Structure 1
């Protein structure tokens, strides 16, 4: 005995298990076990869309179709030479630096740099903002 009295330990064993298999799964398991005992050949077939997100699979199909339709070029579109020259010329006419122009259109200076170097992937929204900020019609 302790000072507090007799300490009782009434512990219950709690077992957490997965959900019980359904009748169909139980039947399939019996069939597979019987085939194993008989040394029969067992083939497994994976369903095409088993355990997949249908929304993701539809977008994947669209992307796959785009890849299939793609020519051997396999590159992104780049800023055309005419556009990069127009941006550079308009910026010089306004006597602005790349950093100043970037601040006006709320973009990073690197964006202006890649557009003027022709390495950017064209974004019509940015091109429109550049045209407004520079007061020029950009193609």
Structure 2
């Protein structure tokens, strides 16, 4: 450790200046005013796409048209009638309520209710749990 002097750091302030966003507009304005004073002819043109995102608006109208022309009705797959009847029958054979069955498979009672009413989107993991705890094959051939 001998021979190493104290460590010093050289801290100098660094100043970063940004140009104001209106700097270009002010220069253009000054040039226009100077041209007016000198009597030169000035032509101004208003951009029709000013302050808009033209590419986004044109693609939006195309997408809107495609959606309007679309005839397919898209919906999530629901629990088949046969499956919901099988779940309900197996649960009643075991003399379990929806809440008790839900507790057995570590799901919310609402999940069992949705499966039995046919509103749920089928999840193979939940169906497998139901088959295991009810001791019945719910899907496929019996």
Bigger radius of gyration among the two: 2
CA apart distance, 1:48 = 5.3
Report what 1:104 is aligned to. 104
State the alpha-carbon separation in 2 of the partners of residues 87 and 124 from structure 1: 14
Structure 1: which 5+ residue stretches go unaligned? 1-18, 50-66
Structure 2: which 5+ residue stretches go unaligned? 1-16, 33-41, 57-66
Report what 2:95 is aligned to. 95
**CA 71–95 in structure 1, closer or farther in 2 if over 3 Å, else same:** farther
Q: TM-score, normalised by structure 1?
A: 0.55
Report what 2:39 is aligned to. none
State the alpha-carbon separation in 1 of the partners of residues 80 and 91 from structure 2: 17
CA apart distance, 1:32 = 6.4
**CA 32–87 in structure 1, closer or farther in 2 if over 3 Å, else same:** farther
CA apart distance, 1:73 = 2.2
Q: CA RMSD in A?
A: 3.5
State the alpha-carbon separation in 2 of the partners of residues 137 and 112 from structure 1: 16
Work out whether 1:20 is the aligned partner of 2:18: yes
CA apart distance, 1:126 = 1.3
State the alpha-carbon separation in 1 of the partners of residues 125 and 79 from structure 2: 13
State the alpha-carbon separation in 1 of the partners of residues 124 and 89 from structure 2: 19
Runs of 4+ in 1 over 6 A off after TM superposition: none
Provide, for residues 87-119 of structure 1, a one-character-per-residue CA deviation record: whole Å limited to 9, x for no partner.
Answer: 111112222111110000111112111111111
State the alpha-carbon separation in 2 of the partners of residues 75 and 116 from structure 1: 19
State the alpha-carbon separation in 1 of the partners of residues 86 and 110 from structure 2: 18
